[in-house]
Amino acid sequence: MSAPANPAATANPYESDRFLAEYLLFHFGKDHEVLPWESGPRDALGFVRRTARAAQAASPKGGRALDVGCAVGGATFALADHFDEVTGIDFSSSFIQAANQLLTGKGIDYPRIEEGSVTTTLRVDPPAIRNPKGIHFQQGDATNLSRNLGPFDCVHAANLICRLPEPMRFLDQAPSLIKPGGSLVLATPCTWLEEYTPRNKWLGGYSENGKPVATLDRLKAILEPNFDLETRCDEPFLIREHARKYQWSVSLLTTWRRKAGH
């Protein structure tokens, strides 16, 4: 058996070349590159722009934002249209390397799988950025963020919590990361899987005393001592695996306002 091209990818799938290419397409692909099928779910396109817009709608212009689990940085770049300073953090060094490459003005060529081992090369051009000096990417762990990072006017974490081994360790940091009156934008498709999160750490999708526990109810119980729930909506998204296979999912998007004096 030959060695994998990137040994870290065996431990963390988000280090793999396959996920890197999928996320470059998911974050930066043009609509027709992601979904050439007329009959496909067009309202699922542009997910990172939509979650970033929710963060912008929840916050006045200017200020500081944090994008946790930023992947290759699509939402981070979008947030920088609105916030003066944006930090994108992800555990995957290959995702952060790609985001930094775009930040320094270099495009990226990447393969899009058509079928089997047949690929088409696509290109991401560096995004137009209002204030490149205000954007920072760093590799880091959402469950163990540096104490010197905050506070922020907005924390955006899209499709992150059900990919963490201990999601509570991220949510426990939220009150100290966010200024009073600031916002927390969380999106999650509630895809609780033991390969990412041990069952006893799930924040929903299990039964207690014979009753199903929904992720939204757990989030309310966890966050309401320090945050008010402001908005809740369902945001579809589409990840293309190959020309004829997609993951269509629906993320539960909630925005929370940090209470004053807590």
Q: Report the interface residues with ligand SAM, using CB under 6 A.
A: 14, 26, 48, 69-71, 89-92, 95, 141-143, 158-160, 163-164
Cβ-based nearer residue to ligand SAM, 17 or 141: 141
- Residue with smaller CB distance to ligand SAM, 46 or 182: 46
Q: Measured from the CB atom, is 70 or 219 closer to ligand SAM?
A: 70
CB of 156 to ligand SAM, least distance (A): 8
Cα 145 to its chain centre, rounded Å, is 16
Closest to ligand SAM by CB, 163 or 258: 163
Closer of 102 and 142 to ligand SAM (Cβ) = 142
State the pairing for strand pair 227-242/178-188. unpaired
| Geometric angle at alpha carbon 168, from 167 and 173, rounded to 5° | 105
Asked if 126 and 99 count as a contact pair (C-beta separation under 8 A), the reply is no
CA–CA separation, 146 and 87 (whole Å): 12
Closest distance between ligand SAM and the C-beta of residue 180, in Å? 25
Min CB(163)–ligand SAM separation in Å: 4
Kindly state the DSSP code that residue 191 receives in the 8-state scheme: -
CB of residue 184 to ligand SAM, shortest distance in Å:
14
Strands (E), 63-202: 64-68, 85-90, 108-115, 118-124, 135-139, 152-158, 178-188
Name the CA dihedral angle for 28, 96, 171, 259, rounded to a multiple of 10 degrees: -70
Q: How far is the CB of 234 from ligand SAM (least distance, A)?
A: 15
